[in-house]
Structure 1
Amino acid sequence: MPTALTTIGLLVASNVFMTFAWYGHLKFKETSLWKVILISWAIAFFEYCLQVPANRWGHGTFTAAQLKIIQEVITLVVFAGFSIWFLGESLKWNHLAAAMCLVGAVYFVFRG
């Protein structure tokens, strides 16, 4: 599989773990804070097991700045789906406007 696809696939998978680690506990507010911190750290371990290889393998195909922008776009796409599906929140026009700003960031960071 091409390095670019492997990198992006690993970044998507790592973001799913990290989104659950950072925001999944919001659905379980009755659970003690110390417990959700430990669970979040346990989930985040798997995020790092995917994120670090993604950046290591992807660097060279992508610059560090490009990797970061790819990561941010994936983060917001994954989070948008998570907030709708898992948290039951809705997206509004300003979320779309923010996404369009990211499209601009992608354009400028990948521009030669």
Structure 2
Amino acid sequence: MTPLWTAIAPILLLVASNVFMTFAWYGQLKVEHRAMWLIVLISWGIAFFEYCLAVPANRIGRATYDPAELKAMQEVITLCVFAVFSVTWLKEPVTLNHALGFAFIALGAFFVFKGPFH
């Protein structure tokens, strides 16, 4: 695999993976009229596709990133996908507190990648 592919593919796969993960975990919040056992089964089914993307993302990404970088990347992507999902699907606002909290997590990811002690 080319270095460019091993740098970009994990990001694309993690974004797609997080879309599935977010729907599996939070999509059901708008479906209150279904039995919990059914919601759990549907969520597991959706999560299967999340894993089908997340595992290759980490395997491919390992050629370019160390595990801590992959995890930090995963967290920032998760928050970005969740913020869009929350506004569009759940119709929830992103407040200043949310934005500040997300920014601090992104700052943590920055230090994992470019911190002063590298």
How many Å apart are 1:103 and its aligned residue? Answer: 2.5
In 2: Cα distance, 1:107 partner to 1:79 partner? 19
RMSD between superposed Cα atoms in Å: 0.9
When the two structures are aligned, how many residues end up with a matched partner?
112
Q: Which runs of 4+ in 1 moved over 3 A?
A: none
Structure 2: gaps of 5 or more residues: none
Match 1:41 to one of 23, 39, 44: 44
Is it true that 1:11 corresponds to 2:11 in the alignment?
no
TM-score if structure 2 supplies the norm length? Answer: 0.91
Look up the match of 2:113: 110
Q: Does 1:24 align with 2:27?
A: yes
| Percent identity (aligned) | 54
Query: SS at 1:2's partner residue?
Result: helix
Structure 1 unaligned spans of 5+: none
CA distance in 1, matches of 2:33, 2:14: 31
Matches within 5 A, 1:65-84: 65-84=68-87
Q: Distance in 2 between matches of 1:65 and 1:86?
A: 30
